[in-house]
Structure 1
Amino acid sequence: SLKAYNVPKRYRGHWKNKNCWLTISKRHISGNYFTKHGTTYRWTAKAQRHVSNHIVLCSRYRKWLTIGLAGGERSYLVRKGKNLKLYIDTWVETLHR
């Protein structure tokens, strides 16, 4: 019942700063605040029932990419010029390539 999700090209790559890193490919997202090797699936009500550290649920709203582990809190990614801003709960990380 899970549907595959391809991450848009503008978000792909290896993003980092001194505290955080994030690697995004066409179908996988990994990082120190997320899973070590997560496959991306479309965010639906049925998909939220599949709790696993290897599943990352994704959806897109305008320029925002919503990501998160199933059953966990949501995080948001937005591309600001050459940087990528990662919003987790109440704090923001600015990542660069």
Structure 2
Amino acid sequence: SLKAYNVPKRYRGHWKNKYKHWLTISKRHISGSDIATHGTTYRWTAKAYQRHFSNHIVLCLRRGKYLNVCLPSGEPSYLVRKGKYLKLHEDTWVDTLHR
């Protein structure tokens, strides 16, 4: 079974990049960008990563300054808060977001 995950406050808010693409992060939901259209956050476990397939599930795990975020069985992304910016690391590129 999936366990709920609350996103830390420092990552929450409405973020946009220079191309006006939005990423909205609330306590239990992440939507926008390439992550999910409207995803509910759950704790990242090996079983959840392998068994659950849905565009409405976003698996999250905090490791130090990084917040790992991904769709089940998808490519992981990393969110890092750098001052007033939020950096989204996807595969080989980095997207800088601001409020």
Deviating above 6 A after TM superposition, structure 1's stretches of 4 or more consecutive aligned residues are: none
Aligned-residue offset at 1:21: 1.8
Aligned partner of 1:5: which letter?
A: Y
Aligned partner of 2:63: which letter?
A: Y
Taking the aligned partners of 1:34 and 1:21, their CA distance within structure 2 comes to 11
Aligned-residue offset at 1:93: 0.4
Unaligned runs of 5+ in 1: none
Q: Secondary structure at the match of 1:10?
A: helix
Aligned to 2:17: 17
Aligned to 1:88: 90
Aligned to 2:27: 26
The count of residues paired between Structure 1 and Structure 2 equals 97
Aligned partner of 2:62: which letter?
A: R
Q: Percent identity?
A: 76
Q: TM (normalized to structure 2)?
A: 0.95
Unaligned runs of 5+ in 2: none
Cα RMSD (Å) of the superposition? 0.8
Q: TM (normalized to structure 1)?
A: 0.96
